[in-house]
Chain A
């Protein structure tokens, strides 16, 4: 326990975090790339075509992990924001604000690949059903967070405002998740996250889970990159940044 607390304390120090994340990034990137290649090979080559949807079902290997990440990142952003407000943890504030553009990208990807899947399967690019509409609202929430952070000059104040907005928007998350059960949607129901056995063959399911893991790791990598950039910007007048750039 003591070691864990010591680590958390260390990671809260910008120079240590900057150096440590710099060492970690190449390894994480290699693992992530390997998982993606494995998942793509399994999904595009090894998995058989779906008996109803043919090869178009393969869009699932980017669509579903992107949609999962759009929800996961939102929750992570809101929790980090809450930690930032309650305990005044600077690093948590930075996690909150730097998660927003990554989450927005995954939300956009979920919507765009869903549209590309909907056209051949449903015969339309877009329909105002509960799942699609609530996911679109999620995209606007992310845009709201990004815009609000950019609009307030004092970045610590901005991070607080952003955290509150993120926490309020949290109500949308269960709505998105349960939308396919609460309302009669054109979007299909869950095939993986069910209490019974997933209604998907293992040869199709395993590549999906690998892609989901790869996307999770990707978020972590993209987050570290953005956090490093944000730290350098916020701490540009500090001693450790000058030392880092050999300016003293």
Chain B
């Protein structure tokens, strides 16, 4: 039982170590993750700012009339 716990801890550290290639593997996956998330967030932020500017323009036109 105790041995099995030690073994599973070993595999977790082995998992992050990636046979010595940890830096290259995790940088690749990390970079991909960050870019994929940013690609989703960016158009959403842009859409919100367009929405705000449409509402603002409409309000300004309304005051003039």
- A residues within 8 Å of B by Cβ? 40, 44-45, 49, 54-56, 58-59, 62-63, 66, 101-102, 105, 108-109, 112-113, 116-117, 119-120, 218, 221-222, 225-226, 228-229, 232-233, 236, 241-242, 245, 247
Flag if A245 contacts B54 (CB, 8 Å): yes
Minimum CB–CB distance for B43 against chain A, Å:
4
- Number of A-B pairs, beta carbon distance below 8 Å: 85
Whole-angstrom distance between the Cβ of A47 and the nearest chain B Cβ: 12
Q: How far is the CA of A63 from the CA of B32 in the complex (A)?
A: 9
A113 to B25, CA, bound (A): 9
- Do residues B39 and A105 form an inter-chain contact, with CB atoms below 8 A? yes
Binding site secondary structure of chain A: helix
Binding site for A on B (CB under 8 A): 15, 18-21, 24-25, 27-29, 31-32, 35-36, 39-40, 43-44, 46-47, 50-51, 53-55, 57-58
Bound Cα distance A208, B20 (Å) = 22
Residues of A within 8 A of B19 (CB): 49, 54-56
Selected from B15, B32, B46, the residue in CB contact (under 8 A) with A113 is: B32
Q: Which residues of the other chain, A, contact B15 by a CB distance below 8 angstroms?
A: 44-45
Q: A109-B31, A241-B54 are in contact. Are A59 and B39 (CB under 8 A)?
A: no
**Contact B35 A225, beta carbon cutoff 8 Å:** no
Task: Collect the chain A residues with CB atoms within 8 Å of residue B25's CB.
Answer: 55-56, 58-59
Query: Of all chain B residues, which has the CB nearest A215?
Result: B36
Known A225-B44, A233-B50, A247-B58; further 5 A-B contacts with Cβ < 8 A: A62-B28, A63-B28, A112-B31, A117-B28, A226-B43
Assess the A225–B40 pair: CB atoms within 8 A. yes
